[in-house]
Amino acid sequence: MAAGPSRRQPTLDEVAEHAGVSRSVASRALNNAPHVSRAKREAVQRAVRRLGYVPHPAARALATRQTGAAALVVSGEDPSIFADPFFAEVIVGASAALDEADLHLMLCLAASDRGRKRVEELLRCRGADGVMLMALREDDPLARLAEEADVPVVFGGRPVGPAPRHYVDVDNTGGARDATEYLLAQGRRRVATLCGRLDTEAGRARYRGYRDAMLGAGLEPLPPQEGDFTEPSGAGGMAALLSRHADIDGVFAANDNMAAGALRTLRTAGRSVPDDIAVAGFDDLAVARLADPPLTTVHQPVRALGREMARMLVALVDGQDPTPLILPTRFVVRASS
Amino acid sequence: MAAGPSRRQPTLDEVAEHAGVSRSVASRALNNAPHVSRAKREAVQRAVRRLGYVPHPAARALATRQTGAAALVVSGEDPSIFADPFFAEVIVGASAALDEADLHLMLCLAASDRGRKRVEELLRCRGADGVMLMALREDDPLARLAEEADVPVVFGGRPVGPAPRHYVDVDNTGGARDATEYLLAQGRRRVATLCGRLDTEAGRARYRGYRDAMLGAGLEPLPPQEGDFTEPSGAGGMAALLSRHADIDGVFAANDNMAAGALRTLRTAGRSVPDDIAVAGFDDLAVARLADPPLTTVHQPVRALGREMARMLVALVDGQDPTPLILPTRFVVRASS
DNA sequence: CCGGCATCTGGGAGCGCTCCCACTGGAAGC
DNA sequence: GCTTCCAGTGGGAGCGCTCCCAGATGCCGG
């Protein structure tokens, strides 16, 4: 804005003219392509600097059929799901990796119908060179659309159902098993789980980990108390759990939010943590450290998840065929167990 | 992917041919422009559906000189700044408002040098129809670049220095004053502040609010203990404060993260909250409720902030000249005071 | 001394869209 | 009856870039 002389941006033709070369040569020089003499290459570079030339992305996109952008789509009918700091970390990782590949990041919160429609268009018209898909639920129409679209797609977290060709996930089952086994090793016997949405693969996989650990110890798994990965659902779930099984002495929550909710309910109920009941979570985001007591939890490398999704997408865009990636989790003991 | 027949997307010419009209008519029909007979308009719509036509964004962008996207730039040398849930909320709000205007959201974390350079390019080549700028610090080069760029710019939170033409902010000073006055009204007399970065306007404004309240009560403001809006800086700052002024009985922290850090330090130091020391924060994000004790804090409408930034930007893109907007805060009393 | 080859070079044809403009024909105005 | 007008129409010229290809130049070996 300002009193800025709103003069048109210089075009490649003008650069070429100033450098005394043809448009073709200027273009080649700009893209570090061969077949340009040293002298002309430098002349072009000088002209670029002098004129403050910046290539027009749309023109380039039209000619190359590449947009120079990757999209991160977060599904879910409620936009609040995105407020989970989990996604912020994913974005930090993805953004860094995309920066390295000189790709811009488009963020699509496919919450409203309108939002979903726009994502659909994006997929079909190649509005981005590639798409990262997250937080899909069972039968999410986005999954089918993505598979059909003629665009590289990477899933962040396996969707429910058959595994897609390209995805990055963390070892949900292993992490949940580790956590539950730890609780059992501490001598807890009545261990329940506040599981996450069972229409997500993460929710299911973490529940499987809990169940496997229980069965492995010769114990009967308690029926899952399902929540939606939010703090209130953890608090409510914990209350339900207490009323059904007054004698539980351990809880594995499918994420830290829910574990924090459980802590709140337990505090209200006068149960002491970890003396009466041990609590373990999953994620190891900021809330785990801030909770009182600090949460024993399964650390998942969220930033790396974002980074690896982006890298896989870049590889895909480059015509490679990367294999799915499962990132390891790390069990972290704090005061809640 | 799949076995998808990677056949080219249909073009507008093909739609026109199928509908038995010229490209011009098809274009007009598509854009709901006048001068198209009802019959042909419908014929075009049918052809669009039959062929599954989606306009090519780059071609459209090249012809109209509009990209159909708005960028949200978050500055800061450390990408972790973005992990603050504050930004997630801003994004939810902005995303919803942009959806309504049919604009895509590009997210730029201008952390690395590379990232900043790419933002600069974005600004100069009109890679987006408008730009929202957040988290600028004093003398941030992005501010100057944005002012010079021939692109609508909206600041999220006033930057330090002269007010820009277009910005949305919250009433930082008023909120901070409310909080401090409340502490004073409770009978606290030695009230300190854990202020935020003083090279940001939010940090300064909240400190001013604290200072004004103290002076208004005839008390001498304590020298600000500066932090960087993170939990650790709140914890460390609180420790420093305690060692310098053992007798303080109230603390206003410039945000909830720092207040949470303060709570942690106070717990360790054996000071009871709110009995020995009352604590108030700013933001009212999730952490405020989760803290123990839950935080008395200044609620700021973060999602609305994002929404209004986006709306202001849309207005700007539409050629209007909106005036700056200051959103009100709301003081929320919880157990920490 | 000339064909052959590698390196440069620039003209031109797109990429898929919008939009200006010149043209048509029928309704309205005198 | 004629002009005047305007909704409706399609041709064509861009938008700014890439990339193919034909031509030009220099240098080698035969």
Q: Measure B63 CA to C20 C1' (Å).
A: 13
pLDDT digits 0-9 by tens, A183-238: 999 999 999 999 999 999 999 999 999 999 999 999 999 999 999 999 999 999 99
- Residue B154 — pLDDT band, cuts 50, 70, 90? very high
Kindly compute the dihedral angle of the four CA atoms of residues A100, A101, A103, A107, in this order, to the nearest 10 degrees: -70
Evaluate the CA torsion angle B225, B140, B144, B79 in order and state its sign.
Answer: negative
B24 touches strand D (CB under 7 A): yes
* C-beta neighbour count of A294 within 10 angstroms: 16
Tell me the pLDDT band of A2, cut-offs 50, 70 and 90: very low
- On chain B, the residues whose CB falls within 8 A of the CB of A88 are 82-85, 87-88
Residue B178 CA to residue B236 CA, distance in Å, equals 25
Give the per-residue pLDDT at B5. 43
Which of A95, A125, A152 lies at the smallest CB-CB distance from B57? A125
Assess whether pLDDT exceeds 50 at residue A100: yes
Chain B neighbors of A124, CB-CB under 8 A: 9, 52, 54
A-chain CB neighbours of B112 within 8 Å are 96, 99
How far apart are the C-alpha atoms of B322 and A5, rounded to whole Å?
Answer: 21
B151, pLDDT greater than 50: yes
Instruction: Provide the shortest C-alpha distance from residue A118 to chain B (in Å).
Output: 8
Instruction: Give the C-alpha separation, B15 to B54, whole Å.
Output: 10
Count of Cβ atoms closer than 10 Å to residue B7 Cβ:
7
Q: Is 50 exceeded by the pLDDT of residue A324?
A: yes
| Residue A33 Cα, gap to closest chain B Cα (Å) | 21
Q: Tell me the residue type at A281.
A: G
Query: Would the CB atoms of B54 and A121 count as touching at under 8 Å?
Result: yes
Per-residue confidence (pLDDT) for residue A112, from 0 to 100: 84
Amino acid A253 reads A
Q: B114 beta carbon < 7 A from strand C?
A: no
Q: Which residues of A touch B106 (CB under 8 A)?
A: 69, 104-107
Q: What is the pLDDT of residues B52-87, one digit of tens each?
A: 999 999 999 999 999 999 999 999 888 889 999 999
Q: In the predicted model, is pLDDT for residue B8 greater than 80?
A: no
For range A285-305, the mean pLDDT: 94
Given this model, what pLDDT does residue A131 score?
A: 96
Q: Separation of CA A43 and C1' D25 in angstroms?
A: 20
SS3 B226: strand
Would residue A220 be called left, alpha or beta, if left means φ above 0 and alpha means ψ between -120 and 50 degrees?
A: beta
Q: Confidence class of residue A34 from pLDDT cuts 50, 70 and 90? A: confident
Q: Do A104 and B105 touch (CB under 8 A)?
A: no
**In this complex, is the C-beta atom of A33 within 8 Å of any C-beta atom belonging to chain B?**
no
Statement: residue B2 has pLDDT above 50: no
**pTM metric for this prediction:** 0.93
Decide: CB of B25 under 7 A of nucleic strand D: yes
Please tell me which residue, A176 or B140, carries the higher pLDDT value.
A176
Parallel, antiparallel, or unpaired: how do β-strands A325-327 and A167-170 relate? parallel
Interface test with B, best of A73, A77, A91, A102 (most B CBs within 10 A): A91
Please answer whether residues B109 and B118 qualify as being in contact, where contact means their C-beta atoms are separated by less than 8 angstroms. Answer: no
Neighbours of B129 (CB within 10 A): 22
Q: Quick check: A83 and B94 in contact, CB under 8 A?
A: no
Q: Residue B15 pLDDT more than 70?
A: yes
pLDDT over threshold 50, residue B227: yes
CA A2-A8-A12 angle, to 5 degrees, is: 135
Angle between helices A231-244 and A256-268 (to 10 degrees): 50
Q: According to the model, what pLDDT value does residue B150 have?
A: 86
Strand C and B67 CB separated by under 7 Å:
no
Of A309, A285, A328, A302, the C-alpha closest to A171 is A328
Parallel, antiparallel or unpaired: strands A330-332 and A296-299? antiparallel
B309-328 tens-digit pLDDT: 999 999 999 999 999 999 99
In chain B, what are the helix, strand and coil shares in percent, each to the nearest 5?
Answer: 45, 15, 35
Amino acid at B254: A
What residue has token string 């997250």?
Answer: A134
Å: B298 CA to C17 C1': 50
Q: Binning pLDDT at 50, 70 and 90, where does residue A5 land?
A: very low
Contact (CB<8Å) B114/A95: no
pLDDT at B7: 62
- The average pLDDT across A94-116 equals 93
**Residue B195, pLDDT score:** 97
Across chain A, mean pLDDT equals: 93
B105 vs A114, which has greater pLDDT?
B105
pLDDT by residue (tens digit) across B80-107?
A: 899 999 999 999 999 999 999 999 999 9
Residues from chain B that touch A109, judged by Cβ atoms under 8 A, are 91-92, 95-96
Checking each nucleotide's C1' against the CA of B12, the nearest proves to be C16
- Identify the band that residue A8 occupies on the pLDDT scale cut at 50, 70 and 90: confident
Please give the pLDDT value at position A7. Answer: 62
Which nucleotide is closest, CA of A31 to its C1'? D18
pLDDT digits (tens, 9 = 90+) for A125-143: 999 999 999 988 888 889 8
C-alpha–C-alpha distance, residues B46 and B43, integer Å: 5
**In the 37-96 stretch of chain B, whose C-beta falls under 7 Å of nucleic acid strand D?**
37-40, 59, 62-63, 65
> How far is the alpha carbon of B114 from chain A, nearest alpha carbon, in Å?
7
Cβ contact B2–A147 (<8 Å): yes
Q: Cβ of A49: how many Cβ atoms within 10 Å?
A: 10
Give CA–CA dist B330/B282, Å, rounded. 10
A107:B105 CB<8 A: yes
Bases of chain D within 7 A of a CB of the protein? 7-12, 14-21
A114, pLDDT greater than 60: yes
| Nucleic acid strand D within 7 Å of A80 CB | no
* In the predicted structure, residue B156 carries a pLDDT above the cut 70: yes
Average pLDDT, chain B: 93
Number of A/B CB contacts below 8 angstroms equals 174
For chain A, the three-class secondary structure string (H helix, E strand, C coil) is CCCCCCCCCCCHHHHHHHHCCCHHHHHHHHCCCCCCCHHHHHHHHHHHHHHCCCCCHHHHHHHHCCCCEEEEEEECCCHHHHHCHHHHHHHHHHHHHHHHCCCEEEEEEECCHHHHHHHHHHHHCCCCCEEEEECCCCCCHHHHHHHHCCCCEEEECCCCCCCCCCEEEECHHHHHHHHHHHHHHCCCCCEEEEECCCCCHHHHHHHHHHHHHHHHCCCCCCCCEECCCCHHHHHHHHHHHHHHCCCCCEEEECCHHHHHHHHHHHHHCCCCCCCCCEEEEEECCHHHHHCCCCCEEEECCHHHHHHHHHHHHHHHHCCCCCCCEEECCEEECCCCC
Residues 266 through 305 of chain B touching chain A, CB cutoff 8 Å = 267, 286-287, 289-292
B121 touches chain A (CB under 8 A): yes
Distances (CA, A) of A249 to A180, A217, A274, A305, B81: 12, 16, 9, 33, 38
- CB proximity B37 to A under 8 Å: no
Distance (Å, rounded) from C-alpha A108 to C-alpha A106? 7
Task: Check CB contact under 8 Å for A92 and B79.
Answer: yes
In strand C, the nucleotides that come within 7 Å of a protein beta carbon are 7-12, 14-21
| Inter-chain CB proximity A69 and B106 less than 8 Å | yes
Q: How many CA atoms lie within 13 A of A155 on its CB side?
A: 30
- Nearest 10 degrees: CA dihedral of B149, B152, B158, B159? -10
**pLDDT score for A3:** 31
pLDDT at B6 > cutoff 60:
no
Task: Determine whether the interchain pair B96/A83 forms a contact, defined as Cβ–Cβ distance below 8 Å.
Answer: no
**A169: β partners:** A326
Closest Cα in chain A to B131: A1
pLDDT reported for residue A113: 86
Q: Tell me which residues of chain B, numbers 168 to 227, contact chain A at a CB-CB cutoff of 8 Å.
A: none
